Structure 1
Amino acid sequence: MQYALLAYSPPEETDRATRPIPEALATRLDRPVVAGWARLHADESATTLRNGERGTLLTDGPFVDSKEYLAGLILIEADDLDGALAIAEDMLQTTRPGTAIEVRPIVEARLRGA
């Protein structure tokens, strides 16, 4: 089963795109259980669309106002939630203090015509 690990980081002064990935984390990302991953630019680079009563509302920045921001997304393969949590905990050990990893199962569905 596939799971998404949503990595949330505390605010920082530099854009993650200019900071190298720590070697310990890079090693953990280079494993057979990791199906893919993406490192995101700072939250100020986001644009959010929201479906409202009067149509689509477009705003600059993330929709959620929080001290933490979504820093990246990692797709993994695990037998069950316990396995996914173990992988997430292993990766969390290589991150900065204040980092959080949310684990969510991926809905396994195909689009029509695909």
Structure 2
Amino acid sequence: MQYALLAYSPPEDTDRASRPIPGGLAPLLDRPDVTGWARLHADESATTLRNDDGRMLLTDGPFIDSKEYLAGLILIEADNLDRALAIAAEMLQETRPGTAIEVRPILDGRFRGA
């Protein structure tokens, strides 16, 4: 089963586009159970589309107001949630303080990383 590991960063951590992936995390992203990953620009670069009773609303910024923002996602293959959590815990140890990783099963999709 595929799981998405959604990495959240504190709002003050906005310079990650100019720095490399943390050294201990890079080899973990190359593992065979990681099927894709992406780092995202800071939340202020987001544009959100909303369906408002059939009308499209376009707004700048993330879709929710939060103390953390979605910084990236990692797709993994794992036999079960326990294994997915173990992989996420291993990756979390290599991230910056304040980072959180949400683990969610994927219903379906075609994304495959390069």
Output the TM-score relative to the length of structure 2: 0.90
Q: 1:44 maps to which residue?
A: 44
1:57 corresponds to: 57
Letter in 2 for 1:75: L
Q: CA deviation at 1:54?
A: 5.5
Q: Which amino acid aligns with 1:76?
A: I
- Indicate conservation of the 8 Å contact 1:16/1:40, yes or no: no
Q: How many angstroms does 1:13 deviate by?
A: 5.4
Question: Which stretch of structure 1 is more off in the superposition, 29-38 or 9-18?
Answer: 9-18
Q: Which stretch shifts more, 71-80 or 48-57?
A: 48-57
d(CA) in 2 for partners of 1:7, 1:18: 18
Gapped regions of structure 1 (runs ≥ 5)? none
CA contact (8 A) 1:4 1:103 kept: yes
Aligned residue for 1:76, secondary structure, equals strand
% identical equivalent positions: 80
TM-score normalized by the length of structure 1: 0.90
Alignment of 1:1-114 (within 5 A): 1-12=1-12, 14-53=14-53, 55-108=55-108
Residue 37 (structure 1) shift: 0.2
Q: Which deviates more, 61-70 or 13-22?
A: 13-22
Aligned to 1:84, what secondary structure does the other structure show?
helix
Equivalenced residue count is 110
The runs of 4+ residues in structure 1 deviating greater than 3 Å are none
Cα separation, partners in 2 of 1:25 and 1:109, compared to 1, 3 Å: closer
For 1:25, give the aligned amino acid. L
